[in-house]
Structure 1
Amino acid sequence: MRNSLLLLILPFGSAFVVPQSPTVRTFGVSLHAVALEPEPEGGEEVTPLKTMAGCRMKKMEELKNVKSENGPAYQFWMTATVDGNMIKDNHTELLKNAKKKANFPGFRKGQVPPYAMPQITQFSIQEAIIKTVEAAVDAHGLKALSGSDGQVEVKENVEDMVKGYKLGDPIQFTAVLNLSYNTDNSASDVIDEPAGVVDVAAKEV
């Protein structure tokens, strides 16, 4: 599935945004919350082949003008929770790399100024969403389409996720994406958490 996912982060109207992006408590876990795009009506729930907590996938409609090597292609709706530790690990790595190249006027060489931290957090969340989408596609026995046909549209604005975010908190999101069924998948494996990174093209907000 390498090079097959295109992540588009699209801003949505304020009607779907909680202004302060509050943190809520769910089953003892701190969940950083932004208002989610409403779940679409209809569709067919997809039974996962691998265990992935906090994730659902629905097949919505067949894409008549889209070709796939694995047969018919469909639009899917999904929701999932991004592991807060994954975001934290991404943040640590990005900050480490940023410090190696940091040379901002008025700051010591290697020091990242406070105003740059939200952007690092945003990139950390984006990368974790990509990994989570990837894991969800695999867990449900599906396969991303190639090229622009395989784009993923995340319904929530990452900039709103960053507001008030506490590093390490999980984040829930929804998305629509075009997929086909992966005929090579088997139900023998079980995963406990998303793993693996792919090359993607990301459109910044």
Structure 2
Amino acid sequence: MAPGKIDGVPTIASYFAACAYLEAASVIAFRAMARELAAHGAPPSLIAACKHAAMDEVRHARLTARLARRYGANVIWPRIAPGCPRTLVDMAIENVVEGVVRETYGAASALVRAQSAARSEIREIAHAIARDECGHAELSWKIAAWLDSQLSREDRARVAACGHAAIAELRHELAIEPACDVHTVAGVPTSKTATRIHAELVSCIWANSDVLRATS
């Protein structure tokens, strides 16, 4: 296998292909969240915001897929069959893991990529995505607050425990150094920068979250 390549494809191409896949998966997730919130009687503003976020993710998927193809990757799209509405606690667990933790870190990381990517086109795309992802992270916190208000003490404790586990898992993942071209071309933070961002989020945001310490 050649340096900087995975199965013959440059790692930067694989990176953008993975981004496109995840953005498309987010379309499905936000649409599902909108349906489930509606089924559980959530405020209309949250439902509308999820639908708007799904539209953002459609645009992100197209932009990152274009970059992936430009660097030589084939993009695979997720296929997830719709299921029955989940329980409130299951929704809250997914939201705290994927939204409150990972989306919040992702928004902060996207801001770095928007400044550090090598090419102006990639910086512009990263900037547009970063702006939207900051809004999506904020939405995740709003959803978390509403779900928290609907849960029992025991279920809130479960959600908080899952959130802390996600924070620890993310910290472990960020210890892995990104491929050189992924760092230089896409602006993905080095492990040192990523762990610093993570530590700042822990001390400034996650440690002060009622959702992550909810026991009453």
Would you say same fold, with TM above 0.5?
no
> Structure with the greater relative contact order (CA < 8 A, sep ≥ 6): 1 or 2?
1
- The structure with the largest helix share of the pair is 2
Could you state the TM-score of these two structures normalised by the residue count of structure 2? 0.24
